[in-house]
């Protein structure tokens, strides 16, 4: 992700005082950010950061801060899979809202923390395509793919929260929001935190 006018801080080094990009400082503390839409650019950046931090210090915790309206399922599942496969333990922190694919990425954490006024939202995936002029077989193929993705996402939610898959299907039939306490009660989050460690 190319940041327009990235925020810098002044730090002292062997070469004197120099401006350093704030996200670089935070990444050196093993903190990375999923802010905004889940898309190829943002997910590629997060995957590369996760892989770098895991190879630099295998097994040391990584914190992923999330405030996202969601986005592309395939890109988001790439981040989720990477989070689950690396050796480092992942702590996800919901700051604001983790919605749609943002909530799935949030579920990738070993520790899943909510700020007191943050919230999660889950729902069924959507195709986003216009079926006007499409042939019946093309429409059926798209619907079959959508059902497969729906099952995969519901399976992840069920596995990570401990809920029955039938309950997950019911919750995702519409947009379902959880405040921080409800997220803990339903198994999405492991805790509510009052400070950013």
156-193 pLDDT, tens digit each: 999 999 999 999 999 999 999 999 999 999 999 999 99
Can you give the pLDDT at residue 128? 61
Query: What CATH fold (topology level) applies to the domain 8-192?
Result: 2-enoyl-CoA Hydratase; Chain A, domain 1 (3.90.226)
Q: What are phi and psi of 106, to 5 degrees?
A: -55, -40
Q: Which residue has the tokens 């195709």?
A: 127
Q: Which residue has the tokens 């996402």?
A: 153
Per-residue pLDDT for 42 more than 90? yes
Can you give the pLDDT at residue 6? 64
Give the residue from 35, 123, 10, 14 showing the smallest Cα distance to 73.
Answer: 123
Q: How far is CA 171 from CA 125, 162, 163, 166, 191, in A?
A: 13, 14, 11, 9, 21
pLDDT band at 2 (very low <50, low <70, confident <90, very high): very low
95-134 pLDDT, tens digit each: 999 999 999 999 999 999 999 999 999 998 876 666 667 7
Question: Regarding predicted confidence, which is higher, 23 or 80?
Answer: 80
Q: How far is CA 12 from CA 5, 9, 86, 90, in A?
A: 21, 10, 33, 30
Tell me which of 1-15, 39-53, 74-88, 94-108 is least confident: 1-15
Q: How far is CA 137 from CA 98, 130, 140, 142, 144, in A?
A: 35, 15, 5, 9, 10
Catalytic residue among 42, 68, 88, 100: 100
Can you give the pLDDT at residue 101? 97
**Helix, strand, or coil here: 4?**
coil
Q: How far is CA 128 from CA 71, 72, 125, 131, 142, in A?
A: 11, 10, 9, 9, 10
Q: Is 8 a catalytic residue?
A: no
- Domain locations in the chain? 8-192
Give the residue from 49, 110, 50, 47 showing the smallest Cα distance to 76.
Answer: 47
Q: Is 123 a catalytic residue?
A: yes
Mean pLDDT of 3-15: 66
Question: Regarding predicted confidence, which is higher, 154 or 4?
Answer: 154
Q: Which residue has the tokens 């395509």?
A: 129
């Amino acid at each position: 992700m190319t940041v327009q006018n990235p925020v810098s801080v002044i730090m002292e080094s062997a070469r004197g005082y120099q401006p350093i990009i704030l996200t670089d400082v935070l990444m050196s503390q093993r903190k990375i950010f999923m802010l905004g839409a889940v898309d190829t650019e943002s997910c590629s950046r997060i995957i590369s950061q996760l892989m770098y931090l895991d190879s630099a210090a295998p097994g040391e915790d990584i914190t992923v801060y999330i405030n996202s309206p969601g986005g592309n399922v395939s890109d988001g599942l790439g981040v989720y899979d990477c989070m689950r496969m690396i050796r480092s333990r992942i702590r996800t922190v919901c700051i604001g809202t983790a919605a749609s694919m943002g909530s799935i990425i949030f579920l990738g954490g070993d520790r899943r923390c909510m700020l007191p006024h943050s919230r999660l939202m889950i729902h069924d995936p959507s195709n986003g395509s216009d079926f006007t002029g499409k042939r019946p077989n093309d429409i059926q193929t798209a619907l079959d793919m959508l059902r497969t993705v729906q099952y995969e996402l519901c399976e992840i939610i069920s596995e990570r929260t401990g809920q029955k898959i039938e309950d997950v299907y019911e919750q995702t039939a519409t947009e379902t929001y959880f405040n921080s306490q409800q997220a803990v009660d339903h198994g999405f989050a492991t805790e509510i935190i009052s400070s950013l460690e």
